[in-house]
Structure 1
Amino acid sequence: MRPARPGRSRRTGAFPNAATGSEAEIAVAFDEAYRMLRRRIELLLAIPIGSIDRLALEESLREIGRSDPALPPSRQPSEREETA
C-alpha cells in the first residue's frame, strides 16, 4: 500500500461550517454534508477490496469521488457520460 499523498484529496460540496442564513438553512447545509458523506462511505464499504485488482479499485474510488449523493447508484453518471 502506498502512503497517502498530501494535497491529492478533493473535498466536493459546500463546507457546512461556512453556511450562512437562518438556523434552518444552516441545518440543511449540515444535513446535506452528512448525507453526502454517509453515501460515499456506504459506496466505499461496498467495494469488494479483496477480490478486485488495483486498477478496478482505483476506478471505484474515482467513481465514489464523482458520485452525486442525491442520486441512487443506478442513476449515477458514468465516466463516458461526463466526458461526452
Structure 2
Amino acid sequence: MLTKRQGRRLLEWFDAVRREDLPGLHTLAAGVDRDRAAVIADPTLPWNSGVVERHVNRIKVFKRRTFGRAGFTLLHNRVLPAP
C-alpha cells in the first residue's frame, strides 16, 4: 500500500480497523480522521520532506551534544556555515 503509493486504500484499512475490537487502533483511526486529506496525500504524492527532516535532526543532535556547555552563538555558527 505504501510502496505503491496507494493512499486511498488507507481509508479502507481504517474502516476495517473500526469494525474489529482493537481499542489501540481505534485511537489511531480517530486521529487519522482529524486530518484525513494529509494522511491520504502523504503516501500518494511523490514529494517528501526528507531533506528538511535531515537538517532538523542534525540541529537537534548538535543541541543535545552541547546542552549546558554552549550558548546560542555557537549553535548559530555551527548551523549556519560562514560564507
Q: TM-score if structure 2 supplies the norm length? A: 0.33
Higher RCO structure, 1 or 2 (CA under 8 Å, sep 6+): 2
Indicate the structure (1 or 2) with the bigger Cα radius of gyration: 2
Structure having the larger proportion of residues in helix? 2
Q: TM-score if structure 1 supplies the norm length? A: 0.33
